[in-house]
Amino acid sequence: MVFLYNLSIKLYLLIVFIASHFNAKAKFFIEGRKGIWERMAKQVDPSCQTIWVHCSSLGEFEQGRPVIEAIKQHDPNLRIFLTFFSPSGYEIRKNYPLADYIFYLPLDTKRNAKRFIRLINPQMAIFVKYEFWYHYLNELKNRNIPTYLVSGVFRANQIFFKPYGGWYRKFLNAFTTFFVQNNDSKNLLQSIGYSNVIVTGDTRFDRVAKIASEAKEIPLVRDFVANHQVLVAGSTWPKDEDIILPLANEFPELKIIIVPHEIDELHIQEIIRKSPIPPIRFSKPDFSKTTEAKILIVDTIGLLSSIYQYATVAYIGGGFGTGIHNTLEAAAYGIPVIFGPNYHKFQEANDLIANKGGFSISSYDETKNLLNLLLTDKNSYQLIAKHAEELVNLGIGATQKVVAIILKKARERFPKMFSEV
């Protein structure tokens, strides 16, 4: 199995290398790892107290970020070595100020894992939500380095829980403690013999609550919105936009803000072409049309979490593809949340539906009818919005639980390195 695993890593690298000649993300993936060992060796002091935090991409970083910040608040002298697998995480957060080192994670080979762990010499490792890399986890286990999974989610269809998943279950042996989001995950892990599981919830609740409390005003968006009802469609893909854009004709008084997941010019031009009425662009504002326009395309990154403060209703993109994006960012503002049909593997989306603060749609007509209810029935709207906000408020506190346990274990093992809180 190790041979097949290693072969799959090599094939993956070959595919990404070929794609890098015509795909920007693949190019970042390859270019970002060039000279990485020399850069790490030049920057890293292995004698320092270091905690390795690994996130697959941007979404996982948002879950890991509250943990990093809580650890740094406890002891600013602890070094955080942050790694990303995906360019969509690294390229956006490569200047995150509370991480002392930020790098792409070298591909998971036995040689790379040994070299990496030896170079950074971490006192502990934290993996966020998932990303189970065999050689890295095996090396951490062999070196007896405490390793934690934070905000983990496990599902019965994962290979760990299949009769033929014995080799893959070895990946899990490295973890000192699993901090999981729900009881289903705990029960699944216990069913295959893991008792070191604690249900702490999702640390992302703490992050979105903080973002909402610190949301910055965006003057152009404020002026565009004025006193209108607003639909904010965040992290959209073309299939989402095919549903959202025609709503401009159905609801003449409604303002629509589209924040695409991909903001390349080709995609922006496609949105403009499909718009039933002329939109305006955030990056090229025509202030004479700001208040009169009905559709605003936000063609820049980093604003979505604050833009939700202007929403009456939020639509979260990705549900007609591989899966929806961050629903909690919107729910934190106490507004109803709508998303497409591919949401089942996202615990927070299931919870929003169960708590009656969110809805899944599968067609334009369903979206239109639901939006009509939310915009015209004040009592229903207020109740649904309240349920969305309550869900977020109930989820706050996971970070404190996780960090308290991690630091307690660290003090027991490294009494001279980790001081009392």
User: Where in the chain are the domains?
Assistant: 2-201, 211-395
- pTM comes to 0.86
pLDDT per residue as tens digits for the range 19-40: 989 888 889 999 999 999 999 9
Burial of 205 (0-12, 13-18, 19+ CB in 10 A): buried
Confidence of residue 171 (pLDDT cuts 50, 70, 90): very high
Confidence of residue 412 (pLDDT cuts 50, 70, 90): confident
Closest CA to 304 of 294, 290, 314: 314
Strands of the 101-104 sheet, one edge to the other: 101-104, 79-84, 50-55, 124-128, 147-152, 177-180, 197-199
CATH 3.40.50.11720 at 2-201, yes or no: yes
For residues 286 and 138, the model is more confident at: 138
Of the CATH numbers 3.40.50.2000, 3.40.50.970, 3.30.420.40, 1.10.220.150, which one belongs to the domain with range 211-395?
3.40.50.2000
Confidence of residue 421 (pLDDT cuts 50, 70, 90): very low
pLDDT per residue as tens digits for the range 182-237: 999 999 999 999 999 999 999 999 999 999 999 999 999 999 999 899 999 999 99
Whether the predicted pLDDT of 417 surpasses 70: no
Please answer whether residues 327 and 302 qualify as being in contact, where contact means their C-beta atoms are separated by less than 8 angstroms: no
Whether the predicted pLDDT of 418 surpasses 70: no
How much of the chain, in percent, has pLDDT values that exceed 90?
A: 82
pLDDT per residue as tens digits for the range 314-337: 999 999 998 999 999 999 999 999
Owner of token pair 């969110």: 358
pLDDT per residue as tens digits for the range 341-392: 999 988 899 999 999 999 999 999 999 999 999 999 999 999 999 999 999 9
Burial of 184 (0-12, 13-18, 19+ CB in 10 A): middle
Backbone φ, ψ for residue 236 (5° rounding): -85, 155
Whether 2-201 shares its CATH topology with 211-395 is answered yes
Residue 36 to residues 9, 30, 47, 86, 115: CA-CA distances in angstroms? 18, 11, 20, 15, 12
Closest CA to 363 of 281, 193, 243: 243
Owner of token pair 């695409």: 260
